[in-house]
A = this chain, B = another copy of it.
Amino acid sequence: MTPSDRKPDLSAQIAQAIRDAIVEGRMIVDERLPSEAELADQFGVSRSTVREALKRLAAQSLIRTQRGAFGGAFVNRLSYQEAYGQHITTSTLLLSMNDVRFETACEARYAMERACAPLAAERRTPRHLSMMRTEIERQATASLSDEDFCASDVALHRALVDAAGNPVLSYQLAGAVEAMQPLMNMITFTARSREEIVALHKKLVDALDTRDAAAADTALHSLESYTLTLGRDVLAARARRSATA
């Protein structure tokens, strides 16, 4: 009855049928799907329609295709790498297209980072610490552009997340952290604010170094409120500009 529940395309229906089979485990990883011609027969549609369905599934990394004899479409083992990529694309678009407030995204990001701070404090390796310290040094470089500063910030926080040693957590948080980058990029980081951030980053790494979960939590809270202040200033300045213009 609603305008959106009209029957979808044949290719969408077929894609959904195969997707269900994969998600419900009726088809297992690396299993070969019937050839396009066979699928066309089975579903009673043309090969073009089947191909469109398969392309939909390929776009979600559910299948991969191989040409040639004994080729075909195979159920794809979804790798963390592929899942990361999709999650980041989706999260970035979700934020940019829905006018998500800076405060909201910032809050979500730091809430999630705090979630992995205790685990990171427990499990961080020397490699994690040195990676984070390398980024902090880079951030102290005066000649760094705002964009590069942001990128380094993301790299540091990514290291924090990875230090928790839980790939599922890393996957889930990658989207939140990376998707924030475009929002962060609109901030102009003054020399003063960079100093402040670098100091807080140092506190954070030192806390992880000494396995002090509480101190790490505090550092992240400080970082959140400071980032929030910076973001608010930018938005306020922008609002003033548009009011006078």
Interface residues on A, range: 35 or more
In the complex, are the beta carbons of B15 and A59 less than 8 A apart? yes
Least CB distance from A17 to B in Å reads 14
21 examples of A-B residue contacts, CB within 8 angstroms: A12-B58, A48-B51, A52-B55, A55-B55, A56-B56, A60-B60, A78-B90, A78-B97, A79-B98, A80-B94, A83-B94, A91-B172, A100-B168, A107-B166, A107-B168, A107-B169, A111-B116, A112-B172, A114-B115, A168-B176, A172-B176
Least CB distance from A94 to B in Å reads 5
Chain B residues near A222: list those with CB within 8 A.
Answer: none
Known: A52-B55, A55-B56, A86-B86. A93 touches B166 (CB 8 A): no
Q: Is A156 an interface residue (CB 8 A)?
A: no
Nearest residue, chain B, Cβ from A53: B55
**Contact code string A78-96 (vs B, CB < 8 Å = 1, else 0):** 1110010011011111111
In the complex, are the beta carbons of B119 and A107 less than 8 A apart? yes
Q: Is A167 an interface residue (CB 8 A)?
A: yes
Q: Which 9 A-B pairs have the closest CB atoms?
A: A115-B115, A56-B59, A108-B168, A59-B59, A108-B169, A111-B115, A52-B55, A83-B94, A78-B93
Q: Is A62 an interface residue (CB 8 A)?
A: yes
